[in-house]
Structure 1
Amino acid sequence: MSHAVARLRASRLATSKKPFLARGCRALRCQDCRLVPSHCVCAWRPRIAAQSAVCLLMHDVEALKPSNTGWLIADVVADTSAFGWLRTVVDPALPALLGDPQWQPYLVFPGEYTAPERVVSEVAVAPGKRPLFVLLDATWSEARKMFRKSPYLDSLPVLSLQPEQLSRYRLRRSKRDDHLCTAEVAALCLELAGDQRAADGLNAYLDVFSEHYLAAKAPRAIDLDDELHRRLQAFL
Structure 2
Amino acid sequence: MTHAVFRLRSERLARSLKPFVARGSRAPRCPRCRVFLSHCLCAWQPQVESRSAMCLIMHDVEALKPSNTGWLIADLVEDTYAFNWQRTAVDPRLLELLADPRWQPYVVFPAEYAAPGRVVADARPGPGKRPLFILLDATWTEARKMFRKSPYLEGLPVLSLQPEQLSRYRLRRSKRDDHLCTAEVAALCLELAGDERAGEALDAWLDLFSERYLGAKHHRPVDEGNQTHMALKPFLD
Which category of TM-score, normalised to the shorter sequence, fits these structures? over 0.9
- Separation of aligned partners in 1, 2:46 and 2:194: 18
**Cα distance in 2 for residues equivalent to 1:173 and 1:194:** 29
Using the TM superposition, give the Cα deviation of residue 5 of structure 1 relative to its aligned residue in structure 2, in angstroms.
0.1
Shift in Å, 1:19 = 1.1
Counterpart-to-counterpart distance in 2, 1:20 and 1:46: 29
User: 2:52 aligns to what?
Assistant: 52
> 1:145-160, aligned counterparts within 5 Å?
145-160=145-160
Question: Matched residues in 2 for 1:124 and 1:2: separation?
Answer: 29
> Which residue of structure 1 aligns with residue 126 of structure 2?
126
In 2, the alpha carbon distance for the partners of 1:132 and 1:37 equals: 34
Q: Does 1:186 align with 2:186?
A: yes
Q: Counterpart in 1 of 2:90?
A: 90
Return the letter of the residue paired with 1:18. K
Read off the aligned partner of 1:89 and give its amino acid letter. Answer: A
Task: Report the counterpart of residue 116 of structure 1 in structure 2.
Answer: 116
Q: Secondary structure at the match of 1:234?
A: helix
How many residue pairs get aligned? The number is 236
By how many angstroms is 1:123 displaced?
Answer: 1.0
Q: RMSD of aligned C-alpha atoms? A: 0.6
Identity of aligned residues (%): 70
Instruction: Say if 1:47 and 1:78, in contact at 8 Å, map to a contact too.
Output: no
- CA shift, 1:13, in A, is 0.4
1:76 partner amino acid: L
- Matched letter for residue 103 of structure 1: W
State the distance in 2 between where 1:175 and 1:66 align: 21
Residue in 1 that maps onto 2:43:
43
Is the contact between residue 47 and residue 77 of structure 1 (CA under 8 Å) also seen in structure 2? Answer: no
**TM-score, scaled to structure 2:** 0.98
Maintained 8 Å contact 1:187/1:199: yes
2:203 partner letter: N
Please list, as runs of the form range in 1=range in 2, the aligned pairs for 1:1-236 lying within 5 A after superposition: 1-236=1-236
- Quote the Cα distance in structure 2 between the aligned partners of 1:48 and 1:138: 26
- SS, match of residue 232 in structure 2: helix
> After the TM superposition, which parts of structure 1 deviate over 3 Å for at least 4 consecutive aligned residues?
none
User: Can you give the 5+ residue segments of structure 2 that lack an aligned partner in the other structure?
Assistant: none
TM-score in terms of structure 1 length:
0.99
> Deviation digits for residues 175-201 of structure 1, max 9, x if unmatched?
000000000000000000000000000
